[in-house]
């Protein structure tokens, strides 16, 4: 059983650019959630996908979008990067449809710096 | 709405006990507890569900007061490995987790 992996580990972008972050969920986990974690803060929920469909979204603008693929991988896309987007981005996978009912397995995160 | 955790930070000696609290202003379906060490991913500790069901590690104990929308995590006989930041995550009708700002726990030898 492999854990949750994310790529890249670190990324530096400039304001206005676009970025794609990738996550590989634990095998058999149909739900993936993405979080933004600013320094010294708890993770903030961005959105959640279940079997390739978005089934929950936090208070983030539409320039944050995602995809989930049948092979348990997923992407987080952020357009028109802003300085405040600098953060650690975490993905977490869980079995079943309801991640609030199940343990979430977090990946190590991608550290995004926007200059 | 973000749950409120207290205390914000606590320093212990090995073997001492600690309690971390989490409270919400909204009706809760579940409370999750995670520990995150510096530079690492959050690690699951426990889930407490409305109705009394709990899922988690044997050495961790926690309580969930549904009427008061409060949860407490009990760390007994603390070890150096317990050091880290503890987050509670709560879910209501939307069934998505909202995390608190964390409690930084330091265990000294």
Q: How do residues B50-80 score in pLDDT, each as one tens digit?
A: 888 888 876 789 999 999 999 999 999 999 9
User: Hey, how many other C-beta atoms are within 10 angstroms of the C-beta on B108?
Assistant: 11
Q: What residues form DSSP beta bridges with A106?
A: A92
Q: Provide, rounded to the nearest whole percent, the portion of chain A with pLDDT above 90.
A: 84
Q: State mean pLDDT over B84-109.
A: 93
- Residues of chain B in contact with residue A33, where contact means CB-CB under 8 angstroms, are 96-97
Q: State mean pLDDT over A73-94.
A: 97
Q: Which residue carries 């208070």 as its tokens?
A: A59
Scanning A31-50 for CB atoms below 8 A from B yields 33, 35, 40-45, 48
pLDDT at residue A2 tops 70: no
- Residues of chain B in contact with residue A108, where contact means CB-CB under 8 angstroms, are 40-41
**pLDDT tens digits for A15-51?**
999 999 999 998 889 999 999 999 999 999 999 999 9
Q: What residues form DSSP beta bridges with B33?
A: B46, B88
């Amino acid at each position: 059983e492999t854990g949750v992996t994310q790529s890249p580990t670190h990324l530096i972008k400039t304001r206005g650019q676009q970025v794609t972050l990738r996550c590989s969920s634990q095998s058999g986990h149909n739900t993936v959630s993405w979080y933004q974690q600013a320094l010294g803060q708890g993770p903030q929920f961005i959105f959640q996908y279940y079997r390739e469909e978005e089934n929950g979204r936090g208070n983030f603008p539409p320039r944050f979008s995602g995809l989930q693929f049948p092979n348990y991988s997923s992407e987080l896309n952020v357009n028109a990067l802003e300085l405040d987007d600098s953060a650690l981005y975490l993905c977490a996978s869980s079995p079943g449809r309801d991640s609030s009912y199940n343990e979430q397995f977090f990946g190590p995160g991608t550290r995004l710096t926007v200059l | 709405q973000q749950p409120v955790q207290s205390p914000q930070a606590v320093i212990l000696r090995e073997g001492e006990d600690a309690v971390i609290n989490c409270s919400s202003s909204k009706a809760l379906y579940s409370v999750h507890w995670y520990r995150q060490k510096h530079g690492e991913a959050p690690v699951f500790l426990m889930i407490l569900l409305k109705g009394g069901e709990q899922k988690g590690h044997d050495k961790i104990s926690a309580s969930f007061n549904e009427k008061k929308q409060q949860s407490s995590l009990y760390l007994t006989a603390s070890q150096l490995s317990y050091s880290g930041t503890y987050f509670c995550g709560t879910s209501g009708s939307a069934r998505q987790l909202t995390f608190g700002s964390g409690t930084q726990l330091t265990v000294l030898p």
